[in-house]
Structure formats: C-alpha cells, structure tokens
Structure 1
Amino acid sequence: MKLTRYTDYALRALIYLATHEGDLASIRQIAEAHGISQNHLMKIVQDLARAGFVETVRGRNGGLRLARRADRITIGELVRHTEADGALVDCSTCRLAQGCGLPAVFAQAREAFMTVLDGVRLTDVAGRPGAFRHLFTA
C-alpha cells in the first residue's frame, strides 16, 4: 500500500510534535524542519486538529502541540483518518469485478497492514527522546 503525501506530511508533523512533546511549535517550524510547503501543512494541521490529534493555541505565543500523549496515538488511527478511502485498487470500472476474487484478497491484505499499524504508537516511530532534536533545531 502506498500512502499519500498527505499522510506522509501528517506523520512528519506528529513526529515533530512528539519530539517536542509539551512544547508549542509553529507550522513554520515544522515546515522548515521537513522542507515542506507551509501552506500545504497548514491544511493538514487544521484537519489533524479537527480530528483530535493536534491542539492549537491561538495568540501571540500560540502554536500547536499534540492533543494527546504520543503513546496514546497509533499510526493505524492516523492512517485510517488520512487515507479515508483506503482501497488498494479501484475495481468499479473493471469488467471482471463481479466474478473476481481479488477485491476480497486486497481487503484482507489491507486489514493485515492496518493491524500492524494499529500496534505501533507515535512514540515508537518518534525514536528515543531527543533523537531528532538535532534535525529540528531552528
């Protein structure tokens, strides 16, 4: 399964926030740390805030942080949110769709993939405390 750039950027944002857990960060800081578009990241962060992954703090000293502890966020939960469709293949226009067994196989494979991701917490992929700090200094 290939994840979208949207999911990639959402994961990068959450990893950044997990490595700075408790601190407020700006969208600009995260975008610069990863070399990604600030405008694109802003849309993703707004979505992550609506979904309860990120908390935003408005005002002069505002920013964003994880809405929950990093050990309470699973990668599977995030991927399910960002990859809403989740289908590996679009079989809707295929002439074989009615009698083909591949859709069931692909659905089973996707569930196995998601089961693995459900067992991985944000803390597991964010590394050891401070492991990325040298990459994220502004």
Structure 2
Amino acid sequence: MRLTSFTDYGLRMLMCMASAPDRAFSTVELAKEFGLSRNHLSKIVQKLTQGGYIVTRRGIGGGAALARAPEDIRLGDLVRLLEEGQALVECFAEGGGDCTIDGCCRLKGRLRRAEAAFLADLDRSTLADIALPQFKAA
C-alpha cells in the first residue's frame, strides 16, 4: 500500500507534536521543517482539526497542538482520516471506476483483506509509539 504525501506529512507533523504534546507548533515552523508550502500544510492541519486530533489557536503563542494525549491516538485511525477518499485501486473508488472485469475479479477481495490487515496492524500502535525523541524545528 502506498500512502499519499498528504498522509505522510500529516503523520510526520503529528510525530513532531507528540514529542512535545503540551506545545503549540506554528505552521511556519512546521512548513520550514518539512520543506512544504504553508498552504499545503494548512490543508493538513485543517483535516486533522476537523478529525479532532489537533486544536489551533491564533495569535502570539498560538499554533497547532495535539487535542488528545499521543497514547490515545491510534495510527490506523489517522491513516483512515488522512487517506479518506483515496481508493487503493480504481474499483474501490466511489462508483467502482471503469473496471471491465469487476463481475469475475478474484483480486478485489484479497486486496480488501490486505488493506484491512494493514490498517488493523496500524491500529495496534499509537502516536506515542512513534513520537520523535526530541524535535527541534529549524
């Protein structure tokens, strides 16, 4: 399974936040750390905020911070949120894509089970398990 860069950077951002769960991180410092545009990072922050994983505050001393303890955040749940709408294969997409062998395909069920196993494995780990030992933004 290949994760989107959106998910990759979302997880990296959360790993940094988990290293200092009581601290707020500015989008400027995180964007600089990962070499991303603030606009792209802001979209990730918005998705994680909507999912209830982070909270944001404006102004001096503001930024993004974890909304929950890192040990209460399952990696599988994060991937499900960040990969929402990203089908593993075309036939998994809403509407089923344009597959001509859908009625006789023997691969689809196996791929669904593999995807479920992948997420189930991630569900066994938390954000605390992958927190960076010490994160210092550039």
TM-score, L = length of structure 1: 0.89
Contact map agreement 2:70 2:126 (CA 8 A) in 1? yes
What displacement does 1:59 show? Answer: 2.3
Partner Cα distance (2:131, 2:70) in 1? 9
Q: 1:109 to 1:20 in 2, by over 3 A?
A: same
Q: 1:86 Cα shift?
A: 4.9
CA contact (8 A) 1:25 1:64 kept: yes
Distance 1:47 1:87 in 2: 18
| Paired positions, count | 133
Checking the alignment, whether the CA contact within 8 Å between 1:80 and 1:86 is kept in structure 2 is: no
CA distance in 2, matches of 1:30, 1:90: 33
1:108 is aligned to 113
1:74 maps to 74
Structure-2 residue corresponding to 1:132 = 134
The AA in structure 1 aligned to 2:89 is: V
Offset of residue 64 of structure 1: 1.4
The answer as to whether partners of 2:47 and 2:82 remain within 8 angstroms in 1 is no
- Residue 95 of structure 1: which of 95, 100, 104 is its match? 100
Aligned ranges for residues 46-65 of structure 1 at < 5 Å? 46-65=46-65
Q: Give the letter for the 2:113 counterpart.
A: Q
Computed over aligned residues only, the root mean square deviation of the Cα atoms, in angstroms, reads 1.4
Secondary structure of 2:103 counterpart:
coil
Structure 1: which 5+ residue stretches go unaligned? none
Query: Shift of residue 58 of structure 1?
Result: 2.0
After the TM superposition, which of the residue ranges 80-89 and 50-59 deviates more from structure 2?
80-89
Partner of 1:119: 124
| TM-aligned CA distance change 1:9 to 1:137, over 3 Å | closer
Distance of 1:5 and 1:11 partners within structure 2: 10
Q: Judge which range, 89-98 or 117-126, deviates more.
A: 89-98
What is the alpha-carbon distance in structure 2 between the residues aligned to residue 118 and residue 77 of structure 1? 7
TM-score (norm 2): 0.89
In the alignment, is the contact (CA less than 8 A) between 1:87 and 1:107 conserved in 2? no
Q: Secondary structure at the match of 2:41?
A: helix
Q: CA deviation at 1:137?
A: 3.7
SS of structure 1 residue aligned to 2:65: strand
Give the drift of 1:121: 0.4
- Point out the more displaced range, 89-98 or 104-113: 89-98
